[in-house]
Amino acid sequence: MNGHPEQHRSGLPYALGAHAFWGSMPLYLLLVHEVPPIEFVAWRIIFTLPLCLAFMTWSHRRGMDGWGELKAVLADRRALLTLLASAALIGVNWSLYVWAIQTGHVYAASLGYYILPLAMMLMGLVVLGERLNRLQWCALLLAGVGVTVLAIGALTTLWLSLSMALSFGIYGLLRKTVAAGALVGLTIESLLLLLPAVAIVSWYAASPAGTVIGRNTLETAAIAWAGPMTAIPLIWFAIAARRMPYTVLGFLQFSSPTIVFLIGLLVFGEKLRPAQLACFVAIWAAAALFVWDLLRRRTAAA
């Protein structure tokens, strides 16, 4: 597999931290379950941008030239077009995810993010020319069997799961290859999405129901908290994507839907069929095998 072990290690905490954020997202979305999904995504963008600008200012004071990089990326037509595409993809992904949770399709969301690691690893192998060893291929095939059986048992919502997986998988690939740092890239994505977001919240404000902001203190605070819930894990994911092979990052993605799956089972009370449990066990076994191989290789290298 491509990449230096020390480089993997430097990206690992960021990857696990991002997945922990995303895995707990259904609990957070309970606080905004009465907010229309599209309006919530718009507010999410609006509250993310000021946080990105604050991070940019803070990093500048610590001697990092984030503003200079921002200007350079805005002047780079190819990078800007790439970020425009990644912004559109993450906007679609957010909307699908929020809609899935709010309409009770927690397992469909979980399946989408179980398909995602396989999509990411395939992109790493085909697009980026990364490689897997024999044990890692075994883990990939074992996980693929589990995900395939899950998908066959959820054909009615498979379109949702596949859309979520592909939109985020391509987003991650673009963020890995674009000539922009994690924070600068997210700042530009937020800028590109700002006008559509403002148009959406303005439309809702002019509607008979009015805007959701201000109708409930806890709900309004939860909507504002969407800024940190969005910016922090996306910045961490972008850092990890630039420091780690996409195949390794892809397999780590199994941690996020596992948390979502447990939340769906224990908090949302969704029923679990024996066939589903067997498939999840296969996926978890594959993840354990993959992680064990990484640890074994790291120990041998040391």
Residue 262 has pLDDT above 60, yes or no: yes
Residue 83 has pLDDT above 90, yes or no: yes
Return mean pLDDT, the chain.
84
Neighbouring C-alpha atoms within 13 Å toward the C-beta of 7: 12
| Range scoring the smallest mean pLDDT among 176-180, 238-242, 294-298 | 294-298
Q: How confident is the model at residue 4 (pLDDT cuts 50, 70, 90)?
A: very low
**Mean pLDDT confidence for 47-74:** 84
Q: What pLDDT score was predicted for residue 16?
A: 87
Q: What pLDDT score was predicted for residue 140?
A: 84
| Range scoring the smallest mean pLDDT among 179-183, 187-191, 242-246, 259-263 | 259-263
Residue 226 has pLDDT above 50, yes or no: yes
Q: How confident is the model at residue 1 (pLDDT cuts 50, 70, 90)?
A: very low
Taking the C-alpha atoms of residue 122 and residue 198, their distance in angstroms, rounded to an integer, is 36
Q: What pLDDT score was predicted for residue 302?
A: 63
Residue 198 has pLDDT above 60, yes or no: yes
Taking the C-alpha atoms of residue 174 and residue 149, their distance in angstroms, rounded to an integer, is 29
pTM across the whole model: 0.80
**Mean pLDDT confidence for 185-209:** 93
Q: What pLDDT score was predicted for residue 189?
A: 95
Q: Which residue has the tokens 């024999």?
A: 134
Higher pLDDT, 297 or 232: 232
Most confident of 53-62, 91-100, 106-115, 245-254: 91-100
**Mean pLDDT confidence for 17-45:** 88
Q: What pLDDT score was predicted for residue 64?
A: 66
Chain CA centroid to CA 152, Å: 24
Determine if residue 208 is left, alpha or beta; phi over 0 gives left, psi from -120 to 50 gives alpha, anything else beta.
Answer: alpha
Extract the tokens encoding 217.
């203190």
Q: What pLDDT score was predicted for residue 206?
A: 92
Residue 7 has pLDDT above 70, yes or no: no
